[in-house]
């Protein structure tokens, strides 16, 4: 899955800092959303816009269970979460947080299942033996 243009070093650094702060806030249970308190959430990536005013936060609920409910709870709490991020990340503007479900694990599983199919595995074995024309 493509997630847009390559990011600059600054975007990557700020995105990683925001990811750590959001993860810590969720781990400490600072958001008083019942869904978030009962479902551990993994923040897999944060992608910053070039002007650093918008952050797309990729999340997944542990085990992928109730992911839609978790996303809805995060969206409801995004203004308060933005305030908490602004407290810990020192930027001129606190980025607006947009929460998106991370589907990269599903995509990786789908690719893995394709590679494990007998017909594909046979073709891969043939190619690695050097018997391919």
Integer angstrom CA distances of residue 120 from 6, 104, 114, 124, 133: 31, 22, 7, 6, 17
Per-residue pLDDT tens digits for 29-79: 898 888 888 888 999 999 999 999 999 999 998 876 788 899 999 999 999
| Per-residue 3-state assignment (H helix, E strand, C coil) for 11-73 | HHHHHHHHHHHHHHHHHHCCCCCHHHHHCCEEEEEEEECCCCCEEEEEEEEHHHCCHHHHHHH
Query: What top-level class would CATH report for the domain 9-102?
Result: alpha beta
Q: For the segment 76-106, what is each residue's pLDDT rounded down to a tens digit?
A: 999 999 999 999 999 999 999 999 998 765 5
The DSSP secondary-structure symbol of 7 reads P
């Amino acid at each position: 899955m493509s997630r847009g243009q390559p990011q600059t070093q600054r975007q990557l650094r700020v995105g990683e800092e925001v990811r750590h702060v959001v993860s810590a806030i969720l781990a400490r249970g600072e958001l008083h959303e019942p869904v978030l308190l009962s479902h551990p959430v993994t923040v897999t990536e944060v992608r910053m816009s070039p002007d650093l005013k918008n952050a797309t936060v990729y999340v997944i609920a542990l085990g992928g269970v109730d992911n839609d409910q978790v996303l809805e709870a995060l969206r409801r709490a995004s203004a308060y979460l933005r305030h908490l991020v602004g407290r810990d990340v020192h930027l001129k503007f606190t980025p607006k947080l947009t929460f998106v479900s991370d589907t990269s694990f599903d995509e990786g599983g789908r690719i893995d299942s394709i590679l494990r199919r007998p017909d594909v595995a046979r073709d891969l074995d043939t190619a690695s033996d050097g018997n391919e024309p």
